[in-house]
Amino acid sequence: MKKRILTLLAAVCLLSAVLSGCGGGSQNGTTGTTDQSTANTQTEGPAARAAAGELNVGIAQDLDSSLDPHKTVKAGTREVMFNVFEGLLKPDASGNLNPAVAESYTVSEDHLLYTFKLRAGVKFHNGQEVTPEDVIWSYQRCGDANAPADIIQVAAFANVEMYQEGDDTVCFQLQEPNNEFASYLTTAVLPKDYTEQDTAPVGTGPFKFVSRTAQESVVLERFDDYWGEKPDLTKVTYKIIENADSILLSLQSGAVDVFAHLTTNQIQQLGDGFHVEEGTMNLVQALYLNNAEKPFDDVRVRQALCYAIDRQQILDLAFDGYGTLLGSSMYPAFSKYFDDELTNYYTYNTEKAKELLTEAGYPNGFDMTITVPSNYQSHMDTAQVIVEQLKAVGINAAIQPVTWESWVQDTYSNRQFQSTVVGVDASNMTARAMLERFVSTASRDFINYNNADYDALFAQAQACYDDGEQTALYRAMEKNLAENAANVYIQDMADFVAVRDGLEGPSFYPIYVLDLSTIHYTK
Amino acid sequence: MRYTARKILTLLVTMLVVSLLTFAAFDMISGDPAATLLGTQATPEKVEALRTEMGLNRPMLVRYGEWLAGFFTGNLGVSFQYRQPVQALLGPKMLVTLCLSLVSFVLIVVVSLPLGLLSANGKLDGLHTFLNQFCMAVPPFFTGILISWCFGICLRAFVPGDFPGLDRNLGKSLVYLFFAAVSIAIPRVAMTVRMLRSTVISEMNKPYVRTAIARGNDRRQVLWGHVLKNSLVPTVTFLGQTMAEIVAGSIVVEQVFSVPGLGRMLVASISSQDYPVVEAIVVILAFWVVLSGTLADLVNRCIDPRMGGIGK
């Protein structure tokens, strides 16, 4: 009997040893800078949150591995951290660039010298004041080809000489004019030589980072030393809720107050107590075609697909009629560059599609695969409709669902695919961000588009400093993509944000962000 | 002592094999943690550089050896996806899953034992067959949604999507976990009741029961005095298996209830190829499974000394 008890005891000890070993780590699994007590107190219920000026926002996926803005990969990370970081300039909802860390700037006659006067007294969240050294260090880090591999390179900074003048001025000396240079200066300014940026990021934005718990939450708090107008909200907790059914439950139960990027289906089930803001996702959803792969190396086949696919029916069947039809790689939020005339460049016409296919030598159609990242229900639904539509012209399409990770690696990076339905967005507010990828030498030209005219137009646009002329060139590039049917362009998807009644003010940006500083409770 | 040594050896060998298999699986499936981190920003040069930085370009066995050495010195490595030591990352999540599993287990035992005995006595016959089939057929994620809607939205007994956290509010967290545990427990209760019922009934048909009744005992006395004790061994074995399977059930239920436990972490880490985290979770699960079996075995040996007792 004694031995039995001993063995039982031993088993219990072993279990508790493993338990305590795992639980004994530092920081209790939460990374953060500021004291944990504020991060851990949670105001309960929507009413209590409203009184305290707090907000819970639901997001459907966890953020990037690193919270360093120079390493941001996912649009979802940018969406959250937009509130924490600022560059010399900062975009607003209408697409203008406003001075942020900088107070003002001038550009020399020859468009080669940008002189930025820093705003006095701008502080980082750790209390340090922003110095010209910080600015130069931040931008050089993004232009330095020898920086760590996970820092996303900004090509526009590569050959720019950056130097300080006086106590509060930073100069950028360009080698050749770059009309869009200013828009790259929205890149975040970070404190020089601060090493915890990955897990405890520090910026100058209206909100400061408090803590992050893996697969659980990200907490931000109002930064009281913010240079500009201080936001109404005092604390924002992003809750990560991946399960589609749980998203609705979390809104109805009062666990979260705002949830962006919902589907029409979810919106309809929402019930009372919420209002819905409708905007656009700001991306180009298309059936992207591998232009180097047979049979899509033939422009007639690509055009035939454009004629064979009824885009309005896709919206009607898969999106309850919501969405904005597109005809090229540009979406309407880029009002300056968007050319609405291209939208109906191809109209649904199966006869014409068959003719073109016969001309191209496929009178009886062919087999093709559509690779779709299966975590995006909207792209899966779209592909489903396309498969049915293509049957009418004898094309036998099959959907190959893949995980997002394998899509990124095999389809996007290694270009091993025939066609894929996905949405492509812009990382900053330049036409270049949308159009450069289809230049034949671009590393991101995942569809292998290879058109000498297009390349020439892009080179001209880069060399051109006149804004009107450059816009015309970008529009010509869009037309080139449409004429050559680079892809079957479908739509800019509708974006629905559910907002609890009593809250106001989320505004839609031309890029994928959710600006917290404009959200407030109505008293 | 030989028994104890044998059990510990089984545990170690299981954990070793499972961890090696996991490593090998990651090596074989397509995809690469470095490429996953870089996402759409990946270029072949960058991926290669990051692989070198992360030490992924070394052979699999070297990395496994390193991981194993770390494991035995209490260092489970650093998560790729969260840049945090695995211990710190998983500690709180493991507690949550452990609580969820224990609450489910207690629920299963407390509900299914009396129900099983009642139905073995023929009290619930019509109801039992119908309810049992129904409960076994409904998948936990569906009952999960129903429970969230009914008790969360309508009755406001808890707030779905807002797990308070064990360290912040233990009472509320346990209430929250209770509802998640119910959806894990329902099909398991059905199975346990069914199992207990058939065991007791088949035991009641044995000759010794007839003899006992012939000697003047009434059914009740026989049931409580003899049959129950004899039915206990298979039941405990079954509950041991149940305890191991609860953890598998919790993976789905954690997603539905947004409970920040190991299951959600496991799913997320597999898709982001965060193998230090996956390795650790897999080893914890293997430990849990072997432990459940061992505990059931120990209890059985206490119940029935013919099985050899414990100390031999």
Express each pLDDT in A480-513 by its tens digit.
999 999 999 999 999 999 999 999 888 888 788 8
Q: Which of B17, B36, B71 is the last residue of a domain?
A: B71
For an interface test with A, the pick among B45, B46, B172, B285 (most A C-beta atoms closer than 10 Å) comes out as B46
Nearest-Cα distance to chain A for B202, in Å, is 31
Interchain proximity B298–A40, CB inside 8 Å = no
Interchain proximity A73–B272, CB inside 8 Å = no
Query: Are residues A209 and A116 in contact, defined by beta-carbon separation less than 8 angstroms?
Result: no
Q: Looking at the structure, tell me whether residues B165 and B63 fall in a common domain.
A: no
Place of tokens 């953020």: A63
Amino acid at B128: H
Q: Which two tokens stand for residue A295?
A: 């049979």
Alpha helices per DSSP H over A341-393: 350-359, 377-391
Interchain proximity A73–B40, CB inside 8 Å = yes
Q: How confident is the model at residue A263 (pLDDT cuts 50, 70, 90)?
A: confident
Q: Looking at the structure, tell me whether residues B123 and B31 fall in a common domain.
A: no
Q: How confident is the model at residue A185 (pLDDT cuts 50, 70, 90)?
A: very high
Q: Looking at the structure, tell me whether residues B28 and B173 fall in a common domain.
A: no
Q: Looking at the structure, tell me whether residues B51 and B153 fall in a common domain.
A: no
Interchain proximity A65–B152, CB inside 8 Å = no
List residues bridging with A113 in a β-sheet.
Answer: A173
Q: 10 Å Cβ neighbour count for B88? A: 23
Nearest-CB residue to B41 (from A15, A73, A198):
A73
Nearest-CB residue to B90 (from A22, A249, A412):
A22
Tell me what pLDDT residue A59 has: 92
Q: Looking at the structure, tell me whether residues B170 and B23 fall in a common domain.
A: no
d(CA B43, CA A145): 13
Nearest-CB residue to A150 (from B3, B38, B148):
B38
A271 touches chain B (CB under 8 A): no
In a domain, B76, yes or no: no
Tell me what pLDDT residue B43 has: 78
Closest Cα to residue A448, out of A484, A415, A410?
A415
B37 touches chain A (CB under 8 A): yes
A199-253: pLDDT as tens digits: 999 999 999 999 999 889 999 999 999 999 999 999 999 999 888 788 888 999 9
B194 touches chain A (CB under 8 A): no
Whether B15 shows a pLDDT value over 90: the answer reads: no
- Most confident range (mean pLDDT) of A166-170, A331-335, B160-164, B299-303 is A166-170
Closest Cα to residue B251, out of B237, B271, B266?
B266
Interchain proximity A3–B310, CB inside 8 Å = yes
Residues contacting residue B307 through CB under 8 Å, at least 6 positions apart: B300, B301
Residues in chain A with CB shorter than 8 Å from the CB of B265 are: 214-215
Mean pLDDT of A74-97: 90
Nearest-CB residue to B50 (from A25, A149, A250):
A149
Using the 8-state DSSP alphabet, how is residue B58 labeled? S
Q: Which two tokens stand for residue B83?
A: 């840049």
Q: Looking at the structure, tell me whether residues B118 and B49 fall in a common domain.
A: no
Whether A77 shows a pLDDT value over 70: the answer reads: yes
Tell me what pLDDT residue A106 has: 93
Tell me what pLDDT residue A74 has: 84
Q: Which two tokens stand for residue A512?
A: 């994928």
In a domain, B203, yes or no: yes
The more confidently predicted of residues B272 and A330 is A330
Q: What domains are there in chain A, each with its CATH number?
A: 284-492 (3.10.105.10)
Interchain proximity B87–A245, CB inside 8 Å = no
Closest Cα to residue A53, out of A518, A504, A522, A521?
A521
Nearest-Cα distance to chain B for A433, in Å, is 13
A128-165: pLDDT as tens digits: 999 999 999 999 999 888 888 888 888 889 889 999 99
B91-149: pLDDT as tens digits: 999 999 999 999 999 999 999 888 888 888 777 667 777 777 888 888 888 899 999 99
Q: Which of B15, B43, B71 is the last residue of a domain?
A: B71
Q: Looking at the structure, tell me whether residues B177 and B51 fall in a common domain.
A: no
Place of tokens 């066995």: B61
- CATH number of the domain at B178, please: 1.10.3720.10
Q: How confident is the model at residue A2 (pLDDT cuts 50, 70, 90)?
A: very low
Q: 10 Å Cβ neighbour count for B44? A: 11
d(CA A455, CA B159): 56
Q: How confident is the model at residue B309 (pLDDT cuts 50, 70, 90)?
A: low
| Cβ burial, residue B93 (10 Å; 0-12/13-18/19+) | buried
Residues in chain A with CB shorter than 8 Å from the CB of B32 are: 409
| Cβ burial, residue A347 (10 Å; 0-12/13-18/19+) | exposed
Query: Are residues A485 and A302 in contact, defined by beta-carbon separation less than 8 angstroms?
Result: yes
Mean pLDDT of A253-280: 89
Q: Which two tokens stand for residue A465?
A: 């400093």
Mean pLDDT of B66-71: 90
Mean pLDDT of A78-101: 91
Closest Cα to residue A257, out of A53, A81, A92?
A53
Q: Which helix (H) or strand (E) holds A371?
A: strand A367-373
In a domain, B191, yes or no: yes
Supply the mean pLDDT for chain A: 87
In a domain, B82, yes or no: no
d(CA A42, CA A274): 22
Residues in chain B with CB shorter than 8 Å from the CB of A249 are: 145, 148-149, 152-153, 160-161
Q: Looking at the structure, tell me whether residues B47 and B176 fall in a common domain.
A: no
Q: Which helix (H) or strand (E) holds B219?
A: helix B219-222
Nearest-CB residue to B36 (from A6, A250, A405):
A405
d(CA B178, CA B196): 24
d(CA A129, CA A111): 30
In a domain, B81, yes or no: no
Nearest-Cα distance to chain B for A210, in Å, is 16
3-state secondary structure of A196: coil
Q: Looking at the structure, tell me whether residues B212 and B244 fall in a common domain.
A: yes
Nearest-Cα distance to chain A for B117, in Å, is 29
CA A106 vs. chain centroid, Å, equals 30
In a domain, B93, yes or no: yes
- Domain membership of residue B8 as a residue range: 2-71
Whether A170 shows a pLDDT value over 50: the answer reads: yes
Residues in chain B with CB shorter than 8 Å from the CB of A3 are: 1, 309-311
Nearest-Cα distance to chain A for B305, in Å, is 11
Q: How confident is the model at residue A42 (pLDDT cuts 50, 70, 90)?
A: low
Q: Which residues of B251-274 are buried (b: 16+ CB within 10 A; e: fewer)?
A: bbbbbbbbbbbbbbbbbbbbbbbb
Range from A35-44, A169-178, A207-216, A445-454 carrying the lowest mean pLDDT: A35-44
Q: Which of residues 125-184 of B touch A (CB under 8 A)?
A: 145, 148-149, 152-153, 159-162, 164-165, 167-168
Q: Looking at the structure, tell me whether residues B67 and B143 fall in a common domain.
A: no
Whether A28 shows a pLDDT value over 60: the answer reads: no
B299 touches chain A (CB under 8 A): no
Q: Which of residues 228-247 of A touch B (CB under 8 A)?
A: 239, 241-243, 245-246
Nearest-CB residue to B271 (from A58, A245, A403):
A403
Whether A441 shows a pLDDT value over 60: the answer reads: yes
Tell me what pLDDT residue B36 has: 80
Tell me what pLDDT residue B51 has: 86
The fraction of chain B above a pLDDT of 70, given in percent, is 96
Q: Which helix (H) or strand (E) holds A325?
A: strand A324-325
Q: Looking at the structure, tell me whether residues B137 and B277 fall in a common domain.
A: yes
- What's the domain count of chain B? 2
A376 touches chain B (CB under 8 A): no
For an interface test with A, the pick among B141, B154, B162 (most A C-beta atoms closer than 10 Å) comes out as B162
Q: CA–CA distance from B39 to each of A72, B192, B297 (Å)?
A: 10, 46, 48
d(CA B158, CA B162): 8
d(CA B103, CA B305): 30
Q: Is the overall model pTM greater than 0.90, yes or no? A: no
The fraction of chain B above a pLDDT of 90, given in percent, is 23
Residues contacting residue B288 through CB under 8 Å, at least 6 positions apart: B101, B243, B244, B247
Nearest-Cα distance to chain B for A476, in Å, is 27
In a domain, B139, yes or no: yes
Tell me what pLDDT residue A299 has: 95
Residues in chain A with CB shorter than 8 Å from the CB of B292 are: none
In a domain, B79, yes or no: no
Range from A33-47, A87-101, A447-461, B30-44 carrying the lowest mean pLDDT: A33-47
Q: Looking at the structure, tell me whether residues B112 and B202 fall in a common domain.
A: yes
A412 touches chain B (CB under 8 A): yes
d(CA B64, CA B260): 28
Tell me what pLDDT residue A9 has: 47
Residues in chain B with CB shorter than 8 Å from the CB of A31 are: 82, 84
Q: 10 Å Cβ neighbour count for A385? A: 21
